[in-house]
Amino acid sequence: MTHLYDGKMAAIFDAMYQTFIDYDEEYQFYNNLIKENNCTTILEIGSGTGNLAKRFQGNHQDYIGLDYSLSMIAIAKERNKNCTFIHGDMRQFELEKPVDSILITGRSTSYLITNDDVNSTFDSIYKNLNKDGIVIFDFIDANRFIPFAKENQVIIHEATFEGIKYYRNSNWKTTLSDNFMLEWTAQYYTFKDDEKEIIADDFSTVRVFTLNEIQLFLYLNNFEIIKTIDRKTYAYDTYVIVARKKQKIDS
């Protein structure tokens, strides 16, 4: 995992993503899945700048957030004064009390670069869920995204937030040396008096998954898939998986 939304990047992320993602719709979507599985307590991993937290808290739900980036947590806390956010790593965390449901949204699974990262994340999730607990997460579909990235190497996003127009030029380079990964570089800029002003450069390695890979990771970590949803998110074809913790069978 190479990417952290630190410092200025956290504020830029917050501004741009609120124009990419309809967080009311996002909340409804995930909350429906939580409700249909009768879950009460919720942990959101990669809670970012607290946009879903705001909706969960607004509806008086038993929610906590966890994120690796202190800058993202600082913005989330500012937005949600009475909400608990834990500074932690999804690959290894321990809650005070297990929860009924764990969410990973916004394709934060893309930062799980190695198979060890993925296995240790599912292992931590398993240990922090109640009996029959549910994990709900999305991931970018490699089968659709890799051909898309090969054909569209520069992708431009434009967003206006609080009167400021932001642009992002993203470049994707496929690298197959380890898993299905992409090297992503992005340049963020605004226009001031018709002058282009670069506000940030960003670089990260992101991983995309095939559905079969995810099915196998879940099987190996004692989860049973109960729902697979094909869902288009703002720029990516993603799958959302709902999986239930199974009893471990001693071998």
The residue number whose beta carbon is nearest to ligand SAM equals: 106
Q: Are 224 and 231 in contact (CB under 8 A)?
A: no
- Residue 146 identity (one-letter amino acid): I
Report DSSP state, residue 1: -
* 157 to 162, 192, 229: CA distances (angstroms): 16, 18, 26
Pattern of binders to ligand SAM over 97-136, x per CB under 6 A? --------xx-x--x-------------------------
Q: Residue 78 and residue 210: Cα distance in Å, rounded?
A: 37
For the chain, what is the total number of helices (H) and then of strands (E)?
Answer: 7, 11
Q: Does 91 bind ligand SAM (CB under 6 A)?
A: yes
Span of 85-93, 192-200, 211-219, 239-247 interacting with ligand SAM by CB under 6 A = 85-93
Closer CB to ligand SAM, residue 86 or residue 225? 86
CB of 219 to ligand SAM, least distance (A): 22
Number of residues that bind ligand SAM (CB under 6 A): 20
Closer CB to ligand SAM, residue 41 or residue 109? 109
Give 243's strand partners. 135, 225
Task: Work out which of 43, 48, 57, 182 binds ligand SAM, going by CB under 6 A.
Answer: 48
Q: Residue 190 and residue 197: Cα distance in Å, rounded?
A: 5
Identify residues 60-79 at the interface with ligand SAM (CB under 6 A).
66-69, 72
Q: Does 5 bind ligand SAM (CB under 6 A)?
A: yes
